[in-house]
Chains A and B, each alone.
Chain A
Amino acid sequence: MKLTIAHLYPDSMSLYGEYANIAVLRRHLEAMGVEAAVRNFTCEDPPDFSDADFIYMGAGTERRQKSVLIAAPRCAPALKAAAENGAVILFTGNAMETLGASVTDAAGKVWPGYGLADFTTVETDQRTPGDVVASPVLWDAPAVGFMNKCSVTHGIAAPLFHSLPLGFGNDAEHGAEGYVSGNVFATHLTGPALVKNPDFLDLVIRRLFALKGWEVPERLPVLPHEREAYAVTLRELEARIK
């Protein structure tokens, strides 16, 4: 069994160890007998995602996100086609913002996004970094992680997390966060979100198996330390909430 991972713009959009999401996904797939090939893209590369089963982009600085947005009109048709074909897409950190209709920067300039969704984002000159506990729509266990954003996103009707017991959501403290539509997932959680959240990783794996028409095993592999690390972080953050 083989599948292809497209990692978008890791030379620009890798601010918080995001490569780990790809590494942990590959490790789990290998444990299930799936060989995953990874193709790294730069903004200058032709945007051919036709063979990609999983497409990922991580967070970057505001300037680097804009360099991605400059190329967005050229890449949008390929990304939309991949989404329509059912590819599993995950954008984390401020890569999430690029999926929407536009990003308005702190100076007021409007940058069109990929347009896979019609939400819009406005940057501010204030950062709201902070730990996050999130209540997922698609799985049970709370998600944990970190956000480091300086923006507000409006117009999301289908969030990935229906509320944030800890953290700033799309447009409000404790509010709904992220975006989901079919196999397209987006969240402002930064860094190795799949590493920190084994249930989120399992969801991605199930969606990939379904896409490929493979039978999903009843139990997905659990690798050492993953559940324990998650439990410690959740325990610490929940103590913080109290």
Chain B
Amino acid sequence: MRLFFAIIVCKLLRFIGKLAGKGSSLPGQYALKICPDALGRVKLPPCVIAVTGSNGKTSTVEMIAAILRKSGRTVVYNEEGSNQIEGVATLILCSSSLSGRMRGDVLLLESDERYARRTFRWFHPTHFVITNLYRDQLTRNGHPEWVYNAILPAIHPETTLALNADDPLVSLFAQGHENVKWFGLEECSVSTKEHHGVYHDGARCPACQGRMEYSCYHYEHIGHYQCADCGYRRHETDFAVTALDLERGTLTIDGDTEISLAFKSIYNVYNILAAWSVCSLAGVDKETMASVINNYILKNGRMVRFTLGEHHGTLLTSKHENSVAYDTNLNYIARAKAPCQALIIVDAISRKYFTGETSWLWDIDFDQLNCEQVKKIILCGKYVHDLAMRFDYTAIPAEKISCYDAVPQAAAALAEDGGREDLYVVTCFSDRDKLLNLVKKEEG
């Protein structure tokens, strides 16, 4: 009876909330007060897929949903990104009949990495994808091993894990777990023998702290590794990108399926592979997966094209406090062919909480912008001096760099500089609208 009331209240509050334009956490929060074990009582669909990790959750989940829907399955998922237990409760209860049976063939969840254990106390996914663990919002997440410890209790013995074999810390989840499937990238055109990046979180073995050796790096600490002390090593993969040409924008999965990339980023490659792996495990055929994922343009708006003055602009949404997200976007600019300018904005470090912490700037490999086609670099925002100081410790010539305290000043200077170079903007959700409100957005 409590479940019945919880579902009614949840649906009612959601209905009112939608009219009022409110978020999706509150209905679930109230429903869980009425029936704390509601998520354990609802009859869920036979397939429950969860995705967690530091980066790529939203994109991966979006592609999984698109593939599963194309395959004819009905998918319920948290498109609005409410990935903590209250948001998940809203999603599940609002998708359930009053008798407590959830509609749909698949429940698909983007799960917050720190709070997954709260959600999965009541039910467990049939498939759990873990994409990667990086330094991400250390101000609230602690550090990657702390996040690892937070995810561990969320893993049920019966769940099939789909793990990124190229991430040594993520691979550690397989220890003591029977059902594990692996995805990874074979040595390919992006692989290097030397480590690139300002810091190396893979230098030490996550299992024994011994010295790690890499036969190749794909980026940062992601690659093919083996511990010299305990033998902990990259696992053989069940799903692999066997060839990759980022210049041309193509990748090959398992040696026989070529996919074109709408966004030529190594991130996108891993997100596609993660989506491919779990959809394959869910029984979708290769042809269907390939047809959806080929040239797939993400709808989550992480990349925005616009015009500012004579400049054709591309905003690459990064995440402050996440050096890997920055590095990936800087790498995208470094691979550009045409002359360009780069604008970096650090104004509000977070949109959700206050912090003045800027040490993450020192983890970003800004030297990637030290290339011929990057003609000018504009730094701006409240923390412009922290940024400028960081750039003083790169090899980028000082005459290429200019600084502004506020976004409107930087935008005005760019609008009036008469230049026609491409403009790449790297910043976070917390700051990007400060620029997007001043430019003319392009469609598509």
**Interface on A for B, CB 8 Å cutoff?**
11-12, 14-17, 19-20, 23-24, 27, 42, 44, 61-64, 66-67, 127, 129, 131, 144, 146, 148, 150, 190-192, 195-196, 223-226, 228-229, 232-233, 236-237, 240
Contact = CB atoms under 8 A, between A and B. Distances in A.
A229 B145 contact: no
Contact of A229 (B204, B389, B393): B389
B392 A61 contact: no
B362 A15 contact: no
Contact of A225 (B138, B203, B204, B392): B392
Q: Which of B138, B203, B356 has the most CB of A within 10 A?
A: B356
Contacts of A196: 358
Contact of B138 (A27, A63, A129, A233): A129
A17 B359 contact: yes
B385 A67 contact: no
A17 B393 CA distance: 13
A229 B383 contact: yes
A183 B200 CA distance: 30
13 contacts: A16-B138, A16-B362, A19-B362, A61-B145, A67-B204, A67-B209, A144-B356, A146-B139, A146-B355, A229-B388, A229-B389, A233-B356, A233-B386
Interface in B339-361: 354-361
A102 B386 CA distance: 36
Nearest to B199: A14
Given A16-B138, A17-B361, A61 B382 contact: no
Contacts of B211: 42, 44
A195 B357 CA distance: 12
B193 interface: no
Interface residues of B, number: 35
A148 B359 CA distance: 12
A236 B356 CA distance: 7
B385 A11 contact: no
B142 A127 contact: yes
Contacts of A127: 142, 146
Contact of B389 (A44, A63, A226): A226
Contacts of A232: 382-383, 385-386
B360 A146 contact: no
Interface of B: 135, 138-140, 142-146, 198-200, 203-204, 206, 209, 211, 354-363, 382-383, 385-386, 388-389, 392-393
A236 B389 contact: no
Contact of B209 (A63, A192, A223): A63
Nearest to A59: B143
A190 B359 contact: yes
A11 B354 contact: no
Contacts of A129: 138-140, 142
B112 to A, nearest CB: 16
B145 A148 contact: no
Contacts of B138: 15-16, 129, 148
A237 B382 CA distance: 13
A146 B223 CA distance: 31
A20 B360 contact: no
B209 A64 contact: yes
Contact of A11 (B140, B144, B203): B203
Contacts of B359: 16-17, 20, 146, 190-192
Contacts of A67: 204, 209
B142 A223 contact: no
A62 B145 CA distance: 8
Contacts of B363: 16-17
A20 B383 contact: no
Contacts of A229: 358, 383, 385-386, 388-389
Contacts of A226: 385, 389
Contacts of B385: 225-226, 228-229, 232
A224 B388 contact: yes
Closest 5 CB pairs of A and B: A17-B362, A191-B359, A229-B385, A67-B209, A228-B385
B204 A20 contact: no
Contacts of A236: 356, 382
Given A228-B385, A232-B382, A64 B204 contact: yes
Contacts of A191: 357, 359, 362
